[in-house]
């Protein structure tokens, strides 16, 4: 963490997407520069990036889950604005359309982004909250062999479904979300995301109104970031210390 000496907003105006933030309880003098950071200065986890040989830039680190959820919500909001402007949801006609090709394609682009970003938010959250030093004992296939898996390997090799159904419930000593509404919503998000990321030619072909295609799934899908946040909320409730970004997530 680095105390910032630049003018900063009061605590209530800190950006909710910050990964970690605190305030100095008293004046602090840097042992490296001798610069004094006054009481109340913000302590922010940051990264220094080299732009050129003579120039660096310091950025406050965002919380990855918050960043992906925020991006997903913005993409969905843009899609919804196009859909609302078209008026077809309120139309009494039996056959409706978005209007111009550009409008429907922009809508689909925003929904594609919202879905992939929302799912990535769940992945980021799960990997983030697995504690350092945690070891997960899992049975290998159908054999009676138990493998002890550390955090880094859990992040890389354990499927997300298993992390949500088994790893996090063990970490937070809570029931598995399997069978609950949030699990159904997560599975709905996962299904659409998988169909988008691994799009098959048969899933994107021309079709009649009763044929299930990825386009139909996208147009009928609820807000992806809400589906993602539902399963995230389930585990946040069991966390002894709630993430700051979650406490300050903008209410829609």
Are residues 113 and 16 part of one domain?
Answer: no
pLDDT at 29 over 80: no
Does any domain span residue 150? Answer: no
Are residues 97 and 8 part of one domain?
Answer: no
Are residues 200 and 102 part of one domain?
Answer: yes
At 74 the three-state DSSP class reads: helix
Are residues 115 and 29 part of one domain?
Answer: no
> Confidence class of residue 39 from pLDDT cuts 50, 70 and 90?
low
Does any domain span residue 186? Answer: yes
- pLDDT digits 0-9 by tens, 199-247: 998 888 887 788 889 999 999 999 999 999 999 999 999 999 888 889 8
Contact 5, 37 (CB under 8 A): yes
128 φ, ψ (degrees, to nearest 5): -70, -40
Q: DSSP label at 32?
A: T
- pLDDT digits 0-9 by tens, 124-178: 999 999 999 999 987 666 655 556 788 899 999 999 999 999 999 999 999 999 9
**Diameter of the chain measured on Cα atoms:** 73
Does any domain span residue 18? Answer: yes
Dig out the tokens for 67 from the structure: 């960043």
Are residues 46 and 88 part of one domain?
Answer: no
Looking at residue 37, what is its pLDDT? 67
Q: Look at residues 48, 32, 45 and name the one whose alpha carbon lies nearest to residue 4.
A: 45
Coarse DSSP helix, strand, coil percentages of the chain, rounded to the nearest 5 percent: 45, 15, 40
Are residues 74 and 117 part of one domain?
Answer: yes
24 φ, ψ (degrees, to nearest 5): -65, 135
Does any domain span residue 109? Answer: yes
Does any domain span residue 138? Answer: no
Are residues 74 and 199 part of one domain?
Answer: yes
Are residues 177 and 118 part of one domain?
Answer: yes
Write out the E strands in the chain.
2-3, 21-23, 28-29, 36-37, 42-44, 46-52, 55-60, 135-139, 146-150
- pLDDT digits 0-9 by tens, 85-139: 999 888 898 888 888 999 999 999 999 999 999 999 999 999 999 999 999 987 6
Dig out the tokens for 157 from the structure: 């090799």
Task: List the single range of 5-14, 86-95, 187-196, 199-208 with lowest mean pLDDT.
Answer: 5-14
172, burial (CB in 10 Å: exposed 0-12, middle 13-18, buried 19+): middle
Q: Look at residues 11, 128, 8, 108 and name the one whose alpha carbon lies nearest to residue 68.
A: 128
Are residues 78 and 181 part of one domain?
Answer: yes
Are residues 123 and 14 part of one domain?
Answer: no
Domain, as residue range, for 43: 2-60
Looking at residue 3, what is its pLDDT? 46
Within 8 A by CB and 6+ apart from 118, the residues are 68, 69, 72, 189, 193, 224, 225, 227, 228
Are residues 89 and 52 part of one domain?
Answer: no
Please tell me the total count of domains within the chain.
2
Does any domain span residue 53? Answer: yes
Looking at residue 144, what is its pLDDT? 53
Contact 160, 122 (CB under 8 A): yes
d(CA 243, CA 236): 8
Q: Look at residues 189, 181, 162 and name the one whose alpha carbon lies nearest to residue 233.
A: 181
Q: DSSP label at 36?
A: E
Does any domain span residue 228? Answer: yes
Are residues 93 and 27 part of one domain?
Answer: no
Q: Give Rg (Cα) of the chain.
A: 23
Does any domain span residue 252? Answer: no
Q: Which of 45, 60, 75 is the last residue of a domain?
A: 60
Percentage of residues of the chain with pLDDT beyond 90: 54
């Amino acid at each position: 963490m680095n105390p910032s000496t630049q003018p900063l907003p009061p605590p209530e105006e800190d950006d909710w997407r910050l990964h970690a933030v605190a305030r100095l309880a008293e004046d602090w003098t840097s042992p490296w520069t001798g610069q004094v950071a006054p009481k109340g200065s913000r302590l922010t986890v940051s990264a220094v990036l080299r732009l050129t040989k003579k120039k660096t830039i310091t950025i406050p680190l965002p919380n990855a889950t918050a960043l992906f959820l925020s991006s997903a919500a913005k993409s969905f909001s843009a899609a919804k604005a196009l859909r609302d402007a078209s008026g077809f949801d309120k139309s009494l006609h039996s056959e409706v359309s978005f209007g111009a090709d550009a409008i429907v394609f922009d809508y689909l682009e925003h929904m594609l982004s919202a879905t992939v970003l929302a799912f990535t938010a769940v992945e980021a959250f799960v990997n983030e909250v697995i504690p350092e030093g945690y070891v997960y004992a899992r049975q290998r296939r159908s054999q009676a062999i138990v493998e002890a898996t550390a955090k880094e390997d859990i992040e890389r090799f354990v499927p997300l479904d298993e992390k949500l159904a088994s790893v996090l419930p063990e970490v937070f000593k809570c029931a598995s979300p399997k069978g609950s509404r949030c699990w159904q919503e997560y599975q709905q998000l996962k299904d659409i995301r998988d169909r988008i990321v691994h799009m098959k030619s048969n899933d994107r072909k021309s079709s009649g109104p009763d044929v299930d295609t990825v386009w139909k799934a996208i147009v009928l899908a609820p807000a992806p970031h809400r589906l993602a946040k539902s399963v995230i909320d389930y585990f946040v409730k069991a966390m002894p210390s709630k993430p700051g970004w979650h406490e300050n997530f903008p209410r829609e």
